[in-house]
């Protein structure tokens, strides 16, 4: 009977319920941080997967030989353009506008076009980077928050132990156990956050590199087109 009572008092839920207010507050913070991190992880996972799939589909479509104006119209009709599509549309839009304004200045046209694509890539990077710093914060601070709860819980246990005339393991163990739960919860919150933060930053670098590479290749195509237009105009003259 006494053994069953001790086991019941040492259960996780019982330890959390009987923990001090400070330790319970630390546990609540860690639970909320863990839930928030998993929400961000799922949301970022979907976004990165969609952006990567869209990058592959668009590049295959782009290099298939389709007319650029037709591809531009398809991108404009897309209700949710993202990633490389925005880079392409911003670049071609700026190229068309500058070609009408300064048809005899290919360098000016290309400078403006490249600038527009760089701005678009920066905006897409900001979208992909959103909330990643929060994951990094959870991964780096959660163990320390849990450790704070552990230190406080152990200190509280020793204060209670000092008031006892006869101390036993049974009287000390629950307090130490409830304190260690805070550290365990901190690690449970931090480990997934760190793993997925590293995963997402790696995917981010790959996607940004892909958009930058496309921007350079697209610039080369447009540059050749500007010089071809200039030569044709000279020939007509």
pLDDT tens-digit series, residues 219-231? 888 888 877 766 6
Spatial distance between the Cα atoms of 88 and 117, rounded to a whole number of angstroms = 7
Task: Dump pLDDT digits (tens) for 128-181.
Answer: 999 899 999 999 999 999 888 888 877 777 766 666 666 555 556 666 777 788
CA distance 33 to 44: 16
Q: How far apart are CA 94 and CA 88, in angstroms?
A: 10
Helix-helix angle 106-129:84-101, to 10 degrees: 160
Write out the chain's pLDDT in tens, 237 residues: 444 444 444 566 666 666 678 778 888 899 999 999 999 999 999 999 999 998 898 888 888 888 888 888 888 888 777 888 989 999 989 888 888 887 777 788 888 989 999 999 999 999 999 989 999 999 999 999 988 888 887 777 776 666 666 655 555 666 677 778 888 889 999 999 999 999 999 999 999 999 999 999 988 888 888 777 666 655 555
- Spatial separation of the C-alpha atoms in residues 58 and 213, rounded to whole Å: 14
Which of 71, 79, 112 is closest to 94 using CA atoms? Answer: 112
Give the separation between CA 127 and CA 121, rounded to whole angstroms.
10
């Amino acid at each position: 009977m006494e053994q069953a009572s001790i086991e019941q008092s040492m259960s996780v839920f019982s330890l959390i319920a009987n923990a001090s207010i400070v330790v319970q507050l630390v546990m609540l913070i860690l639970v909320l941080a863990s839930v928030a991190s998993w929400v961000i992880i799922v949301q970022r996972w979907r976004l990165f997967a969609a952006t990567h799939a869209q990058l592959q589909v668009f590049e295959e479509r782009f290099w298939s030989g389709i007319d650029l104006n037709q591809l531009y119209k398809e991108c404009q009709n897309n209700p949710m353009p993202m990633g490389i599509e925005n880079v392409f549309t911003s670049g071609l839009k700026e190229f068309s506008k500058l070609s009408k304004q300064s048809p005899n200045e290919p360098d000016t046209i290309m400078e403006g076009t490249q600038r527009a694509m760089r701005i678009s890539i920066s905006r897409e990077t900001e979208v992909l980077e959103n909330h990643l710093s929060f994951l990094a914060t959870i991964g780096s601070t959660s163990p320390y928050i849990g450790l704070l709860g552990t230190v406080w819980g152990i200190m509280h246990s020793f204060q209670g132990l000092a008031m006892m005339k006869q101390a036993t393991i049974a009287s000390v163990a629950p307090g130490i156990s409830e304190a260690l739960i805070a550290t365990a919860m901190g690690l449970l919150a931090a480990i997934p956050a760190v793993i997925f933060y590293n995963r997402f930053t790696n995917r981010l670098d790959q996607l940004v590199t892909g958009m930058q590479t496309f921007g350079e290749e697209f610039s080369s195509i447009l540059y050749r087109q500007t010089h071809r237009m200039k030569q044709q105009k000279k020939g007509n003259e």
